[in-house]
Amino acid sequence: MTDYLTDGAEIYRRSFATIRAEAELDRLPSDVERVVVRMIHSCGMTDLARDVAFTPDVVKAGHDALRAGAPILTDAKMIASGVTRRRLPADNDVVCTLADPRVPDLATKLDTTRSAAALELWRERLPGSVVAIGNAPTALFRLLELLDEGVGAPAAIIGVPVGFIGAVESKEELVAKAPTPYLVVHGRRGGSAMAVAALNAIAQEAEL
Amino acid sequence: MTDYLTDGAEIYRRSFATIRAEAELDRLPSDVERVVVRMIHSCGMTDLARDVAFTPDVVKAGHDALRAGAPILTDAKMIASGVTRRRLPADNDVVCTLADPRVPDLATKLDTTRSAAALELWRERLPGSVVAIGNAPTALFRLLELLDEGVGAPAAIIGVPVGFIGAVESKEELVAKAPTPYLVVHGRRGGSAMAVAALNAIAQEAEL
């Protein structure tokens, strides 16, 4: 067998050191840098930093909201599952409404995807929340429609839907409208692991 | 608001068509191609196909095992959470032992990470199972050690640990040893979303 490193803390330290040596992070405020390092760690790609767009206040806004007890709202069960509960500062609720039994009918009625229809069940909790969209571009589009309708804005939006249809455009629309502090990864890349990495980094400042 | 596509089935169809138009899939057997298309769909990167290595029997071996009732064993709770239960052909168990209360002590005793120590609790269920490692390189290294010790091999291994320390090497070791049918993504890329995509595609042939 090949020798390999088995010290978990040392693996983290060396991973973060490799990321900081390779990625172009100079343009990022220090709190955003810490979040982006975690996102790179989750996907193994140091060039991710190039595609990150953000408002400089997004990490502070998200962290302050969580400290004040705000819920996390997300479009995918995997993301809700991945949030490390002990990192959350106020035993915050982590909500994914996709599996709610009302969603299939809502999707039919609204003529949209289940991922987008699930946001109908976010309306009351959306103002001041921390939102992470890591799967469906239609969920991010629908979120922007809800805000256009006048639903109160979340404290921060992590916008990393992934894929080939609508992912690029939904993130461009979020950046163009900028309804509230946001962090996105432009392009097709994104996904639940990246969303979880961002949420866990925003929840707690410690890296290890 | 930008117009956007809201027909879920049509989004899938166009996504898969884009992937098949862009990715180099010619070298793949048709059942492996279907799995790789799903993996690309989960990460938004058509160049992923280049880094895929596999034994030609891996998808059939995994699918047959699941049909016969084999459990899925995985290193991350997010992966267990992401497996679509209705796609499983035999109401298969989906097992992640990382949160088992015995794991921290096992990690201390074995002087390794919790992710690797969690595999001690796989020994009885490992023979004939379907394994997906999508997070920790140390878990994949430890799996290979268990097989070296003579523990019965799984029916198939999805090897997509991610990151900067050991990910590259653990996947190379799996391919060099080839103890059982496998599918890996060489390099630093991998992750829980990719592991879930592979598992869901192996579980059921239908794409939609």
What's the pLDDT at A193? 96
Residues in chain A where the model's pLDDT stays below 50: none
Range 145-164 of B in CB contact (< 8 A) with A: 145, 148, 162-164
pTM of the predicted model as reported, rounded to 2 decimal places: 0.97
* Among chain B residues, CA nearest to A10: B165
Contact B189 A45 (CB under 8 A): yes
Q: Mutation test of the interface with chain B: which of A2, A4, A86, A173, choosing the one with the most B Cβ atoms within 10 A?
A: A4
Only one residue has tokens 């959350």, namely A88
pLDDT at B208: 63
Q: Which of A34, A38, A41, A142 is catalytic?
A: A41
CA distance B198 to B208: 14
B-chain residues near A173 (CB < 8 A): 1-2
Name the percent of chain B lying above pLDDT 70.
100
* Minimum Cα–Cα distance from A192: chain B residue: B193
pLDDT tens per residue, range A103-154: 999 999 999 999 999 999 999 999 999 999 999 999 999 999 999 999 999 9
Nearest by CB to B43, which of A7, A107, A191? A191
Lowest mean pLDDT among A92-96, B113-117, B204-208: B204-208
Chain B positions in Cβ-Cβ contact with residue A166 (cut-off 8 Å): 4-5, 11
Q: Identity (one letter) of the amino acid at A79?
A: I
Q: What is the dihedral of CA B60, B63, B69, B75, to 10 degrees?
A: 110
* Both structure tokens of B79: 């992966």
Cβ–Cβ < 8 Å for B190, B161: yes
pLDDT band at B127 (very low <50, low <70, confident <90, very high): very high
Write the CB contacts of A141 (distance below 8 Å, at least 6 apart in sequence): A116, A166, A170, A173, B1, B2, B4
- Tell me whether B3 touches chain A (CB under 8 Å): no
CA distance B155 to chain A (A): 21
Looking at chain A, which runs of residues are DSSP E strands?
52-54, 72-74, 94-95, 130-133, 156-159, 182-185
**Closest residue in A to B14 (Cα–Cα):** A165
**Residue B79 and residue B193 in contact, taking contact as beta carbons nearer than 8 Å:** no
The complex scores an ipTM of 0.96
* pLDDT confidence of residue A176: 98
Task: Tally C-beta pairs within 8 A across A and B.
Answer: 148
**pLDDT confidence of residue A191:** 97
Q: Is A63 designated active site?
A: no
- Is-contact B136 B77, C-beta < 8 A? no
According to the model, what pLDDT value does residue A105 have?
A: 98
Q: Mark yes or no for CB contact A191/B6 under 8 Å.
A: no
User: What pLDDT is recorded for position A206?
Assistant: 78
Residues 69-128 of A with CB under 8 A from B: 77-78, 80-82, 107, 111-116
Inter-chain residue contact A190 with B141, CB threshold 8 Å: no
Residue corresponding to tokens 């992934």 = A162
User: pLDDT value at position B205?
Assistant: 80
